[in-house]
Amino acid sequence: MFDKILIANRGEIALRVIRACREMGIQSVAVHSTADADAMHVRMADESVCIGPPPGTDSYLSIPAIISACEVTGAQAIHPGYGFLSENANFVQIVEDHDITFIGPSAEHIRIMGDKITAKDTAKKLGIPVVPGSEGGVPDVAAAKKIGADFGYPVIIKATAGGGGRGMKVAQSEAEMERAFQTARSEAKAAFGNDEVYIEKYLQKPRHIEIQVFGDGKGGGVHLGERDCSLQRRHQKVFEEAPGPAISAEERARIGAICADAIAEMGYRGAGTIEFLYEDGEFYFIEMNTRLQVEHPVTEAIFGVDLVREQIRVAEGLPMSFTQDELEINGHAIEVRINAEKLPNFAPCPGTITQYHAPGGLGVRMDSALYDGYRIPPYYDSLIGKLIVHGRDRAEALSRLNRALGELIVDGVDTTVPLFHALLQEPDIHSGTYNIHWLERWLETNL
């Protein structure tokens, strides 16, 4: 059993892991950059180590600094959170070479799923339905045009090494192909240092539905239903809910079983998410994330499980604390991402928090590292909090969201809270009839 875990992250997710450790009687070690010396995760952890200057590349992404912090403090395991080094197979390998446990899947599984082409191939072999498209990478414009002609336009050109919605371009017709192909390539090169791209049929009105999976690393695998994350801006999620308003119990059971079987067959360890686009009753795999996701709390709410605790348990070699049959959905949960951003352009808005008050009451969870007087540094992503509400049904969750947003006070910086107040006025949000394009279109006319 672990006595001490190091959390290689910051912000709300570091707090999330520290809380799980404390409930399990495990000591926690925070790491931080010089810009985060006053951060809440540093205050809340049992110990802390400064690992470098403000830029992420010199601190939260510095593998030698993190390994040293582990050795200095005697931490036996590392929880990577999300982002930063959480899906870096090389990091996992180095951690294991130092006899430290990585709380997450094997380096090999991270590597396979981190390359979108091998991920898609693997998914296909495991019986998971995928988006129709190119077999592997597409070398040049001529090959791209051939695929466009074969599958029919529109198509989407995507970076093999992609993530965070970058390096993706849609071509509506052959005339647009050359430009879209070259732009996707150069964006991919700039963002990921790898210009390989592949092509998929562009689905016109899908929902983004992702299945939460969990494996014990020994051939056991379960699914914890879906999350609908269709409300996106620039391919980034802003509002997530579970269960999905458009998914029936039969569909959930069908796609869930396919995913759980795949996880079992892989011998996958820990939490993962298999992402799909869902259109006209069909699921199409787009990628797998081999980490805990930002939106995991909505799944925790409806199943009443602690996913971080489970991650730690299976990393220790213990079995999962539930079986598929024991997992039952209870009510409905919604998460909204509160970013320090100025509307209407969502420009990052770092600054000092003059007043912070978290909402409370039945069915309300606020995961945030904010406090009065906290200075949000400009170096990291703009997520400053996640408000999660849980109700007996979707209507109750929505009215609870409205009530909780009304209680929340974040003064001193601009935030995305007004966006959610406005969305709650929309009939489509109440009826749950939206797809991945709904928010972008709404933003064009409403902000």
Q: Identify which of residues 233 and 342 has a Cβ nearer to ligand ADP in the complex.
A: 233
**Beta bridge pairs of residue 128:** none
Catalytic: 291? yes
Least separation, in Å, of the C-beta of 26 and ligand ADP?
32
DSSP summary character for residue 362: T
- Exposure on the CB side of residue 29, measured as CA atoms within 13 A: 25
- Catalytic-labelled residue, pool 207, 291, 365, 400: 291
Number of other residues whose CB lies within 10 A of the CB of residue 210: 27
Q: Which of 317, 332, 347 is nearest to 413 (CA)?
A: 347
For the packed helices 116-125 and 107-114, what is the interaxial angle rounded to 10 degrees?
A: 100
Task: Please report, as ranges, the residues that interact with ligand ADP according to CB under 6 A.
Answer: 131, 156, 162-165, 168, 200, 202-203, 206, 208, 232, 235, 275, 277, 286-287, 436
Residue 18 Cβ vs ligand ADP, minimum distance, rounded to whole Å = 27
Token pair recorded at residue 227: 């999350």
| Count of other CB atoms within 10 angstroms of residue 125 | 10
Angle between helices 89-97 and 63-73 (to 10 degrees): 30
Q: Are 242 and 302 in contact (CB under 8 A)?
A: yes
User: In angstroms, rounded to a whole number, what is the distance separating the alpha carbons of residues 149 and 328?
Assistant: 45
Confirm if 413 and 376 have CB atoms less than 8 A apart. yes
**Residue 223 to residue 442: CA distance in whole angstroms:** 33
Q: Minimal distance in Å, beta carbon 285 to ligand ADP?
A: 9
Q: How far is the CB of 20 from ligand ADP (least distance, A)?
A: 26
* CB closer to ligand ADP, 226 vs 287: 287
Classified as helix, coil or strand, 382 is coil
Distance of alpha carbon 26 from the chain centroid? 25
Report the DSSP beta bridge partners of residue 288.
274
Residue 293, H or E segment: none
- Closest approach, Cβ 196 to ligand ADP, in A, equals 14
Per the DSSP assignment, residues forming a β-bridge with 339 are 383
Question: For residues 40 and 286, which CB has a smaller minimum distance to ligand ADP in the complex?
Answer: 286
DSSP annotation of 155 = E
Name the minimum Å distance from CB 277 to ligand ADP: 6
Active site residues: 291
